[in-house]
Structure 1
Amino acid sequence: MAKGIGLKPLDDRVVVRSAEAEDTTAGGIVLPDNAKEKQQRGEIVAVGPGKLLDSGERAALSVTVGDEVLFGKYAGNEVKINGEELKIMRESDLLAKVEK
Protein backbone atom coordinates (compact mmCIF):
# COMPACT_ATOMS: atom_id res chain seq x y z
CA MET A 1 0.00 0.00 0.00
CA ALA A 2 1.31 3.44 -0.87
CA LYS A 3 2.21 5.63 2.07
CA GLY A 4 -0.42 8.16 2.99
CA ILE A 5 -3.08 7.41 0.38
CA GLY A 6 -4.61 4.26 1.86
CA LEU A 7 -5.22 2.50 -1.48
CA LYS A 8 -4.01 -0.85 -2.77
CA PRO A 9 -5.00 -1.22 -6.44
CA LEU A 10 -6.14 -4.63 -7.67
CA ASP A 11 -4.69 -6.70 -10.51
CA ASP A 12 -3.08 -4.55 -13.25
CA ARG A 13 -4.38 -1.22 -11.98
CA VAL A 14 -2.27 1.75 -10.92
CA VAL A 15 -2.99 4.92 -8.93
CA VAL A 16 -1.71 8.13 -10.54
CA ARG A 17 -1.33 11.61 -9.02
CA SER A 18 -1.92 14.04 -11.89
CA ALA A 19 0.55 16.87 -12.42
CA GLU A 20 -0.65 20.40 -11.73
CA ALA A 21 -2.17 22.35 -14.62
CA GLU A 22 0.11 24.88 -16.29
CA ASP A 23 -0.33 28.52 -15.22
CA THR A 24 1.14 29.99 -18.40
CA THR A 25 1.36 29.01 -22.05
CA ALA A 26 4.64 28.41 -23.87
CA GLY A 27 4.37 32.00 -25.16
CA GLY A 28 4.11 33.40 -21.62
CA ILE A 29 0.36 34.12 -21.54
CA VAL A 30 -1.08 33.69 -18.04
CA LEU A 31 -4.13 31.40 -18.03
CA PRO A 32 -7.15 31.99 -15.79
CA ASP A 33 -8.33 29.04 -13.65
CA ASN A 34 -11.27 28.22 -15.93
CA ALA A 35 -9.01 27.96 -19.03
CA LYS A 36 -6.52 25.50 -17.53
CA GLU A 37 -6.65 21.96 -18.90
CA LYS A 38 -5.96 18.97 -16.71
CA GLN A 39 -2.56 17.45 -17.34
CA GLN A 40 -2.30 14.10 -19.07
CA ARG A 41 0.87 13.45 -17.12
CA GLY A 42 1.34 12.19 -13.60
CA GLU A 43 3.29 10.17 -11.06
CA ILE A 44 2.54 6.57 -10.10
CA VAL A 45 1.76 6.44 -6.36
CA ALA A 46 0.60 2.80 -6.07
CA VAL A 47 0.62 -0.33 -8.26
CA GLY A 48 -1.34 -3.56 -8.09
CA PRO A 49 0.18 -7.04 -7.98
CA GLY A 50 -0.28 -7.62 -11.74
CA LYS A 51 -2.82 -9.27 -13.99
CA LEU A 52 -3.75 -12.84 -13.07
CA LEU A 53 -2.87 -15.17 -15.94
CA ASP A 54 -4.67 -18.42 -16.86
CA SER A 55 -1.72 -20.33 -15.37
CA GLY A 56 -2.41 -18.77 -11.96
CA GLU A 57 0.72 -16.62 -12.04
CA ARG A 58 0.78 -12.83 -12.04
CA ALA A 59 2.17 -10.80 -14.95
CA ALA A 60 4.57 -8.16 -13.65
CA LEU A 61 3.72 -4.51 -14.33
CA SER A 62 6.14 -2.41 -16.37
CA VAL A 63 5.77 0.64 -14.09
CA THR A 64 6.71 1.15 -10.46
CA VAL A 65 5.90 3.68 -7.75
CA GLY A 66 7.56 7.00 -8.55
CA ASP A 67 7.52 6.62 -12.36
CA GLU A 68 6.28 9.59 -14.36
CA VAL A 69 3.74 8.54 -17.00
CA LEU A 70 1.54 9.91 -19.77
CA PHE A 71 -2.09 8.80 -20.11
CA GLY A 72 -5.10 9.52 -22.30
CA LYS A 73 -7.40 12.46 -21.67
CA TYR A 74 -10.32 10.29 -20.56
CA ALA A 75 -8.32 7.40 -19.07
CA GLY A 76 -9.13 5.96 -15.67
CA ASN A 77 -11.52 6.94 -12.91
CA GLU A 78 -11.03 9.99 -10.75
CA VAL A 79 -11.30 9.50 -6.98
CA LYS A 80 -10.77 11.87 -4.08
CA ILE A 81 -8.81 10.38 -1.16
CA ASN A 82 -7.85 12.49 1.87
CA GLY A 83 -8.67 15.65 -0.11
CA GLU A 84 -6.33 14.68 -2.97
CA GLU A 85 -7.60 13.94 -6.48
CA LEU A 86 -6.14 10.72 -7.89
CA LYS A 87 -6.80 8.54 -10.94
CA ILE A 88 -7.14 4.77 -10.87
CA MET A 89 -6.53 3.14 -14.24
CA ARG A 90 -5.36 -0.07 -15.83
CA GLU A 91 -1.76 -0.28 -16.91
CA SER A 92 -2.98 -0.61 -20.51
CA ASP A 93 -4.48 2.92 -20.23
CA LEU A 94 -0.97 4.33 -19.82
CA LEU A 95 0.54 5.67 -23.03
CA ALA A 96 4.20 6.07 -22.07
CA LYS A 97 6.68 6.18 -19.25
CA VAL A 98 8.72 9.42 -19.15
CA GLU A 99 12.47 8.73 -19.11
CA LYS A 100 14.45 11.05 -16.90
Structure 2
Amino acid sequence: MSVATRNVKAIIPLLDRVLVQRLKAEQKTASGILIPEKALESLNEGKVIAVGKGALDKEGKHIKPQVEEGDRVLLPSYGGNTIKVGDEEFTLFRDSEIMAKITE
Protein backbone atom coordinates (compact mmCIF):
# COMPACT_ATOMS: atom_id res chain seq x y z
CA MET A 1 0.00 0.00 0.00
CA SER A 2 1.43 3.37 -0.96
CA VAL A 3 0.02 6.81 -0.20
CA ALA A 4 1.19 9.90 -2.11
CA THR A 5 1.42 13.30 -0.43
CA ARG A 6 3.38 16.50 -1.04
CA ASN A 7 4.77 17.36 2.40
CA VAL A 8 6.14 15.03 5.07
CA LYS A 9 5.16 17.60 7.76
CA ALA A 10 1.53 16.82 6.90
CA ILE A 11 1.99 13.27 8.22
CA ILE A 12 1.41 13.00 11.97
CA PRO A 13 1.65 9.41 13.30
CA LEU A 14 -1.14 8.29 15.63
CA LEU A 15 -0.81 6.33 18.89
CA ASP A 16 2.32 4.13 18.86
CA ARG A 17 3.22 4.67 15.19
CA VAL A 18 6.65 5.96 14.14
CA LEU A 19 7.46 7.56 10.76
CA VAL A 20 10.92 6.47 9.58
CA GLN A 21 13.04 7.24 6.52
CA ARG A 22 15.31 4.34 5.60
CA LEU A 23 18.93 5.27 5.03
CA LYS A 24 20.21 4.59 1.53
CA ALA A 25 23.18 2.37 0.76
CA GLU A 26 26.33 3.91 -0.67
CA GLN A 27 26.27 3.99 -4.47
CA LYS A 28 30.06 4.09 -4.77
CA THR A 29 32.79 1.93 -3.31
CA ALA A 30 35.66 3.51 -1.35
CA SER A 31 37.75 3.46 -4.53
CA GLY A 32 35.05 5.32 -6.51
CA ILE A 33 33.51 2.43 -8.47
CA LEU A 34 29.75 2.87 -9.06
CA ILE A 35 27.55 0.03 -7.81
CA PRO A 36 24.56 -0.89 -10.03
CA GLU A 37 21.13 -0.23 -8.48
CA LYS A 38 20.15 -3.89 -8.64
CA ALA A 39 23.19 -4.85 -6.58
CA LEU A 40 22.45 -2.34 -3.80
CA GLU A 41 21.08 -3.82 -0.61
CA SER A 42 18.30 -2.21 1.37
CA LEU A 43 19.73 -1.03 4.69
CA ASN A 44 17.91 -1.95 7.87
CA GLU A 45 18.79 1.41 9.35
CA GLY A 46 16.69 4.55 9.38
CA LYS A 47 16.07 7.97 10.88
CA VAL A 48 12.95 8.73 12.93
CA ILE A 49 11.05 11.62 11.32
CA ALA A 50 7.94 11.79 13.55
CA VAL A 51 6.51 9.89 16.53
CA GLY A 52 2.93 9.45 17.76
CA LYS A 53 1.83 10.08 21.37
CA GLY A 54 2.07 6.39 22.26
CA ALA A 55 -0.17 3.38 22.77
CA LEU A 56 -3.01 3.52 25.30
CA ASP A 57 -2.97 1.48 28.51
CA LYS A 58 -6.07 0.00 30.19
CA GLU A 59 -6.79 3.31 31.91
CA GLY A 60 -6.62 5.28 28.64
CA LYS A 61 -3.28 6.94 29.41
CA HIS A 62 -0.56 7.17 26.75
CA ILE A 63 2.52 4.95 27.09
CA LYS A 64 5.46 7.04 25.87
CA PRO A 65 7.21 5.59 22.77
CA GLN A 66 10.83 4.43 23.19
CA VAL A 67 12.14 6.50 20.27
CA GLU A 68 12.18 10.24 19.56
CA GLU A 69 12.47 12.39 16.43
CA GLY A 70 16.00 12.33 15.05
CA ASP A 71 16.96 8.91 16.52
CA ARG A 72 18.80 6.43 14.29
CA VAL A 73 17.10 3.03 14.55
CA LEU A 74 17.53 -0.57 13.43
CA LEU A 75 14.50 -1.73 11.43
CA PRO A 76 13.07 -5.14 10.52
CA SER A 77 13.72 -6.33 6.96
CA TYR A 78 10.00 -6.43 6.16
CA GLY A 79 6.88 -4.76 7.46
CA GLY A 80 5.59 -1.26 7.94
CA ASN A 81 3.44 0.81 5.60
CA THR A 82 5.16 2.77 2.85
CA ILE A 83 4.28 6.42 2.22
CA LYS A 84 5.58 8.31 -0.80
CA VAL A 85 6.26 12.04 -0.43
CA GLY A 86 7.39 13.47 -3.76
CA ASP A 87 10.33 11.26 -4.79
CA GLU A 88 11.12 10.15 -1.21
CA GLU A 89 9.76 7.08 0.56
CA PHE A 90 8.96 6.87 4.26
CA THR A 91 7.68 3.94 6.31
CA LEU A 92 5.28 3.83 9.25
CA PHE A 93 6.15 1.24 11.92
CA ARG A 94 4.68 0.51 15.33
CA ASP A 95 7.02 1.46 18.17
CA SER A 96 7.23 -2.22 19.19
CA GLU A 97 8.39 -3.24 15.67
CA ILE A 98 11.54 -1.11 15.85
CA MET A 99 14.37 -3.41 16.87
CA ALA A 100 16.92 -1.02 18.44
CA LYS A 101 18.22 2.53 18.75
CA ILE A 102 21.67 3.19 17.30
CA THR A 103 23.85 5.48 19.41
CA GLU A 104 27.18 6.93 18.45
1:32 is matched with 36
1:16 aligns with 2:28: no
Secondary structure of the corresponding residue to residue 34 of structure 1 = helix
| 4+ runs deviating over 3 angstroms | none
Match of 1:46 among 41, 44, 50: 50
Shift of 1:47: 0.3
Separation in structure 1 between the aligned mates of residue 69 and residue 94 of structure 2, nearest angstrom: 14
Unpaired runs of 5+ in structure 2?
Answer: 1-6
TM score, norm. by length of structure 2: 0.83
Separation in structure 1 between the aligned mates of residue 95 and residue 8 of structure 2, nearest angstrom: 22
- Residues 5, 81 of structure 1: 8 Å contact kept: no
* Bigger mean CA offset, 31-40 vs 62-71: 31-40
2:75 is matched with 71
Shift of 1:25: 6.1
Provide the identity percentage.
38
Report the number of matched residues: 98
**What amino acid is the match of 1:88?**
L
Shift of 1:40: 0.7
Structure number with the bigger relative contact order (C-alpha 8 A, sep ≥ 6) is 2
- Residues 47, 65 of structure 1: 8 Å contact kept: yes
Q: CA RMSD in A?
A: 2.1
1:90 is matched with 94
